[in-house]
Structure 1
Amino acid sequence: MTAGLRDIVQQHWQALERDGHASGRLRVSDLPVETGEGPVVAAVDGAGHRHILVPIQPERRVRGGLDGPALILRKVLFEDETSLRTFADLCCARADLNDVFTGLCADVLLHVEGQPGNALKALYGQIDRWRALFRSQSNLLGIEQQAGLFGELVFLERLLEQDPGAHVLWKGPSGHRHDFASARHAVEIKSSLATEGRRIRVHGLDQLEAPPGGLHLYWMRLEAGAGGRRLNDLATRVVEACDDENAIRSLLSAGGYQFLDAPHYGDARFAVVEERCYAVEQGFPRLVASELTSAGVPITVTDVAYTVDLSSEPPHPVDTEASTQQIVALVKEGF
């Protein structure tokens, strides 16, 4: 039910956005959801912001406290050729949150259908529910987690430059043992904020287990500070470069990054100051189940985590050309 309402309001907004001749005023479109005061209305303003207008009686007050930066709620009057109508106007003031706003509005419409005689109460209830949801589920990333995500997004951006559908190769957020994987190849990304040494933390006996086509490990030394690239900008960039915006937003969310939390990451900047790519093969320092089994060691230990020091050689990193070929192979095989 909610999915159908989501599609309906999305279609109305898109139609209004295409109607550019009225760009200087609020463009409106009645939705097929009725209240005691008339239909709920979808709208787009001159700045391109999306609105949902819930009709109310002229004497009703609209509560304050929701005045940006993302959501704005206010009482408005709208006059057309035949009537003067009063609405509770809920507006999304940030285009990067349109997808989240669509979900909120679909829930509003569903609950207004259930209580058309008190649509304002239905609106308040869903606003409060969504705000509580984000307060309870949106856990901010610490600096190390931000750095880890940044490294994965750097690599994802390179894949998307090869193919805008390459987001399907990003497996880490879904709990896969490798950060990026196709049917035969895989890539693991390790980012470090340490100023010296090249140590990586490995989680489990399968993280460095290579699939049939091979596993490569990309190690990045990051430097946090004003000279780097904004984490928020990189997240926005991969959304823009991907051909499935909803899918990439879901992956970012699963990876711990919520666009609603972007203001908290406003000062998060990182620069890649050193990068190495290693082929994880025979001789690479690691603990994997297959090699332990071959050596006659029974696998009765779980939740294994260990550190590998790559500060000295061997292992030797592969050259830039081989690293680039790995990216190409991963993309070609993934589709």
Structure 2
Amino acid sequence: MTSGVAWTTGEGWRQLELSTGSPTHGEFRVFDTTLTTSDGAVLLALDALGLRHVLVPVAADFPAAHDRRSGGVHLTTRPLVDDTGQRQYLDLACQKAHLNGVFTHLAEEVLGLLRGHAIQPLRACHQTLQRWRELLDREASNVLSTEALCGLFGELWHLVRIAAKSAQGTSAWQGPYGARHDFTVEGCALEVKTTTRRDEWKFRVHGLTQLEPPRDARLYLSAMRLELNGASGATVPDLIQSVLDTGVDRRDLLGRLSQVGYDLRDDAHYQQIRIDVIDSRVYEVAASFPRLTGTSFSPTGLAAGVSDIHYTIDLAASPSAPLHLEILDSLHAALAGVRDGGAAEPAV
């Protein structure tokens, strides 16, 4: 048995994977989480096939659990024997190695519930499995294009800072669900644009509403110049972990990532792509800002039969001056739903 004090769930399984020797059929190599219930120690485990398990001890007469509705993760009960004798466990088992990343986050949530001792083990496992079922059953998708990955990087760069103000701030990230703007709360919205071109500030705008402020709210635009494979840059998985470290709801964040086509199973690919922010500007989208909206075609409006309008804005040629970057701190606070007493409030 392996054990540790300062560890993450992923690190626990990696320790087991690096251990010498392999369990035979029906055996497990286990890692002691140091978390206990009234019936014993909660364990992480690897089976003979290298698949991951969370083993939660229960009473010897505990009724059998049987949930195999998800092809990727099963919840059952099983007896196991160690040096002290036989014990009964709830076995939350990952059935497919490519789901290890998602399963690791699911397991973190289960262990978090058990640490509070406010929920019974079966309910903790079943409730978490139910919440994650959609992600576990989703088919694999293609990796994101470089353009899409850079766009996601820009949004996550802001989300890290919003979530640092409040873990509930992830609710402002509405872009993954097809909202008009990437981040939206009452009175305030933020649209994020990225480019890898070093010599210009041109950005594509999609539709006539993307640069139209919400009703009774102000709209800000963050323009970011990025450099691929920058020596001091970060990766998208790095930013995701930074958001998770703020204590956000894991299922909620990964659900939003899934909506934009990001699959945790492709983390190894994305970990190779480092991105630097080499320049950044923020604007308020007001009257002088370059844009097209529905009112740009008054009085008759857009010609009948015209749709799917996309266009390019050139901020280098814009009469609108960028705001001081210090405004971002208060903007992030506003999007997180908190007041930031250390910075001037944006006009929201």
Rounded to whole Å, the distance in 2 between the matches of 1:29 and 1:224 is 47
Local SS of the residue matching 2:262: coil
TM-score by length of structure 1 reads: 0.65
1:94 Cα deviation after fit: 5.1
C-alpha RMSD of the superposition: 4.0
In terms of fraction of residues, the more helix-rich structure is 1
Rounded to whole Å, the distance in 2 between the matches of 1:295 and 1:225 is 48
1:33 aligns with 2:64: yes
1:178 Cα deviation after fit: 0.3
1:225 aligns with 2:201: no
Stretches of structure 1 that go unaligned for 5 or more consecutive residues are 1-14, 41-49, 57-76, 104-108, 110-129
1:52 Cα deviation after fit: 6.2
Match of residue 207, structure 1, among 206, 210, 219: 210
- Show the counterpart of 1:178: 181
Rounded to whole Å, the distance in 2 between the matches of 1:245 and 1:170 is 14
1:179 Cα deviation after fit: 0.2
Rounded to whole Å, the distance in 2 between the matches of 1:205 and 1:160 is 30
Rounded to whole Å, the distance in 2 between the matches of 1:144 and 1:190 is 11
1:193 aligns with 2:210: no
**Residue identity (%):** 30
TM-score by length of structure 2 reads: 0.63
1:184 Cα deviation after fit: 2.1
Amino acid of the residue matched to residue 337 of structure 2?
Answer: K
Amino acid of the residue matched to residue 139 of structure 1?
Answer: N
Contact 1:278/1:315 (<8 A) preserved: yes
1:298 Cα deviation after fit: 3.6
Contact 2:190/2:222 (<8 A) preserved: yes
Structure 1 residues 167, 28: CA separation in 2 closer, same or farther (over 3 Å shift)? closer
Local SS of the residue matching 2:155: helix
Structure 1 residues 81, 320: CA separation in 2 closer, same or farther (over 3 Å shift)? closer
> How many residues align structurally?
260
- Show the counterpart of 1:163: 166
1:329 Cα deviation after fit: 3.0
1:289 aligns with 2:328: no
1:251 aligns with 2:256: yes
Local SS of the residue matching 1:297: coil
1:226 Cα deviation after fit: 4.5
Amino acid of the residue matched to residue 151 of structure 1?
Answer: G
Amino acid of the residue matched to residue 204 of structure 1?
Answer: G
1:194 Cα deviation after fit: 1.2
Match of residue 237, structure 1, among 239, 242, 264: 242
Stretches of structure 2 that go unaligned for 5 or more consecutive residues are 1-31, 46-54, 110-121, 123-134, 340-348
Amino acid of the residue matched to residue 57 of structure 2?
Answer: S
